[in-house]
Amino acid sequence: MTFRALVTNKDAEGKVSSGVEQVEEARLPEGDVTVDIDWAGLNYKDGLCLTGAGGLVRTYPHVAGIDFAGTVSDSQSDRYGLGDTVVLTGWRVGETQWGGYAEKARVRADWLVPLPRGFSTRDAMVIGTAGLTAMLAINRLEAVGLKPDGGEVLVTGAAGGVGSVAVTLLAKLGYQVAALSGRAEHAASLLALGASSAVDRDSFLAEPDKPLETARWAGVIDNVGGKVLGKVLKQVKYDGLVASIGNAGGIGLETNVLPFILRGVTLIGIDSVMQKFETRVTAWQRLGELFDFEAYGAGNVTEIGLEQLPEAAQAILAGQVKGRTLVKVR
Ligand code: NDP
Q: What are the extents of the domains in the chain?
A: 2-115+299-328, 129-269
Exposure class string for 249-266: b at 16+ Cβ within 10 A, else e: beeeeebeeebeeebebb
Q: Is the CB of 44 under 6 A from ligand 1?
A: yes
Query: Which residues neighbour 208 within 8 Å (Cβ) at sequence distance 6 or greater?
Result: none
Site to probe by mutation for ligand 1, drawn from 51, 66, 162 as the one with most ligand atoms within 8 Å of Cβ, is 162
Q: Taking a C-beta distance cutoff of 8 angstroms, is the pair 66, 95 a contact?
A: yes
Q: Residue 150 region, left (φ>0) first, then alpha (ψ -120 to 50), else beta? A: alpha
Fold observed for domain 2-115+299-328: Quinone Oxidoreductase; Chain A, domain 1 (3.90.180)
Ligand 1 centroid to residue 282 C-alpha, Å: 24
pLDDT value of residue 226: 97
CA distances to 25, 61, 149, 168 from 177, in Å: 47, 43, 12, 9
Answer whether 137's CB lies under 8 Å from 163's CB.
Answer: no
What type of residue sits at position 68? F
Cα separation, 247 vs 205, in Å, equals: 16
Who contacts 319 (Cβ-Cβ below 8 Å, separation ≥6)? 160, 182, 183, 248
2-115+299-328 with 129-269: one CATH topology? no
User: In the beta sheet, which residues pair with residue 102?
Assistant: 5
Largest CA distance in the chain: 64
- Ligand 1, pocket-test mutation among 50, 222, 223, most atoms within 8 A of CB: 223
Report yes or no: 239 and 100 within 8 Å, Cβ to Cβ.
no
CA angle 289, 295, 296 (to 5 degrees): 85
Q: Which fold has domain 129-269?
A: Rossmann fold (3.40.50)
Q: Which residues of the chain have pLDDT under 50?
A: none
Comparing CA positions, the residue from 38, 36, 62 lying closest to residue 51 is 62
For residue 157, how far is its CA from the centre of ligand 1 (angstroms)?
A: 6
CA separation for the pair 223, 245 (Å, rounded): 5
Question: From the CA of 44, how far away is ligand 1's center (Å)?
Answer: 6
State in Å: Cα 2 to ligand 1 middle. 35
Alpha-carbon distance of 261 to 31, in angstroms, equals 48
Ligand 1 atom 35: residue of nearest CA: 246
pLDDT for 80 equals: 98
How far is Cα 1 from Cα 26, in angstroms, rounded to an integer? 8
Residue 45 CA: nearest ligand 1 atom is 34
Distance 220 CA to ligand 1 centre (A): 14
Instruction: For 73, list phi and psi in degrees, rounded to 5.
Output: -110, -10
Nearest atom (ligand 1) to Cα of 130: 43
Strands 324-328 and 301-305: parallel
| Residue of 44, 48, 244 to mutate, ligand 1, most atoms within 8 A of C-beta | 44
Kindly indicate whether the ipTM for this predicted assembly is greater than 0.90, answering yes or no.
yes
CA of 92 to the centre of ligand 1 (A): 18
Three-state SS for 112? strand
Alpha carbon of 130 to ligand 1 centroid (Å): 9
**Cβ atoms of residues 68 and 88 within 8 Å:** yes
One-letter amino acid for residue 109 of the chain: A
CB atoms within 10 A of CB 13: 5
pLDDT, residue 261, reads 98
Which residue is closest in CA terms to ligand 1's atom 29? 246
273 close to ligand 1 (CB < 6 Angstrom): yes
Rounded to 10°, the helix 277-290/161-172 angle is 60
The helix/strand/coil state of 179 is strand
The length of the chain, given as a count of residues: 330
- What is d(CA 61, CA 187) in angstroms, rounded to the nearest whole number? 40
**What is the C-alpha separation between 255 and 130, in angstroms, rounded?**
26
- Separation CA 104–CA 120 (nearest Å): 18
Distance CA 297, CA 285 (A): 19
Residue 211: per-residue pLDDT: 96
The Cα–Cα gap between 69 and 285 comes to 16
